[in-house]
Structure 1
């Protein structure tokens, strides 16, 4: 970027979204932890869409060293959630509503395939885990925050992929889940009249119950209903969202008067 270099704001370290205390580095995969922490910052827009920053900034925010942060950035770039700008650091990918609505059609087809596999392959131990998550959602349906829901939603997605048992699918579906978690976070925080999480929780409850009980057709129908709900968010976002919330690098549409 030509001209005077802008000073970067001081950035606070992010906490682990799960609330768990830090674990010993010799017992964990630092790359996975750095990825999860950075992904959380993107989903919750603590790293704003369109924001430019340096690798050092991410190190300060996540508390991880250069190597795991570099690895996390590489994966997030593959996921199209970070844009690498040679000689200028990185940019958090802006939210492109038209593109992401198109990607929702891809997610619908892949999600149905994943859900079908999971319902077919769900065993007794998996059933217990699904029903436990279903119970947690029911108990907190009226009081759960978006941040709390996203932590549980990530666990649900990982379990469904594990039960589906096809490793290739994780690399395809994981970035789509992250993209739409960010969409959901923006919608719930910035759309007037948003009804909260009750509808999305109800959709997830239906999916969990159908997969747990190996009701294949019901599970795929529930998956489609969830995608339909996500699709409905885009209409209100296209009408109401300030474009600067989708890309903070945009110039303001209205310049305030001085004097």
Structure 2
């Protein structure tokens, strides 16, 4: 990995986290120079990270003005989850069938780390784990097109969850257990059970979205 690519990945991770946790507020426009100052990265990593985030619909790039942080509404979240449901079910089925021993061992470690967040309210650690889990599943599925499909769906739905979570400890525990179940079935090579666990996770996310309407 080149130094520029590594810095771009780091810049992307930091900006994605800032958007997810609303350090960059929805509805605001931020310039490249402001983002450089906030993150400590140079213009090239920031620009390349923004292009990636724009492809994932996390930002909208406006030439000579900067990046706009869009709002994400519950209607949009429900549409995202309709698509995510089927794509993610396929991904975990393939991962359970195709993961090698090293990949299963890695997912087992991720399940162990996810289990440790239950009972707490460390959303930053949880968010970092989610990205690592999603990447591990896609790699194990051995289909590059799944990465193209899943990255924006998971990033946007993750952002909605963080923006609307109320009972942090309770919701984190529910979500973490559902993610652990998916990983555990993949590790055992149980494709059908992994798929059902994935559907249960997406049922939870859909219910969560509807509950935000009722709270409003």
Normalising by the residue count of structure 2, what TM-score does the alignment of the two structures yield? 0.92
> Is 73-82 or 121-130 further displaced after alignment?
121-130
Question: CA offsets, 1:29-78, max 9 Å, x none?
Answer: 22222111111111111111111111111111121111111111111111
2:201 aligned partner: 226
Superposed displacement of residue 135, structure 1: 1.9
> Is 136-145 or 119-128 further displaced after alignment?
136-145
Alignment of 1:1-259 (within 5 A): 26=3, 29-188=6-165, 191=166, 195-241=170-216
Superposed displacement of residue 96, structure 1: 2.1
Whichever of the two has the greater Rg, that structure is 1
Aligned pair count reads: 215
CA–CA separation in structure 2 for the residues paired with 1:31 and 1:174: 16
- Paired residues of 1:187 and 1:194 also in contact (CA < 8 A): no
What SS does the aligned partner of 1:94 have? coil
1:207 to 1:69, Cα distance in 2 relative to 1, 3 A:
same
Superposed displacement of residue 194, structure 1: 7.3
Name structure 2 gaps, 5 residues minimum.
Answer: none
CA–CA separation in structure 1 for the residues paired with 2:175 and 2:209: 14
Name structure 1 gaps, 5 residues minimum.
Answer: 1-24, 242-259
1:192 to 1:126, Cα distance in 2 relative to 1, 3 A:
closer
Superposed displacement of residue 89, structure 1: 2.1
CA–CA separation in structure 1 for the residues paired with 2:44 and 2:112: 39
1:69 to 1:198, Cα distance in 2 relative to 1, 3 A:
same
CA–CA separation in structure 1 for the residues paired with 2:66 and 2:100: 46
CA–CA separation in structure 1 for the residues paired with 2:120 and 2:126: 10
1:86 to 1:123, Cα distance in 2 relative to 1, 3 A:
closer
Normalising by the residue count of structure 1, what TM-score does the alignment of the two structures yield? 0.78
- Paired residues of 1:119 and 1:215 also in contact (CA < 8 A): yes
Counting helix residues as a fraction of each chain, which structure ranks higher? 2
Superposed displacement of residue 144, structure 1: 4.7
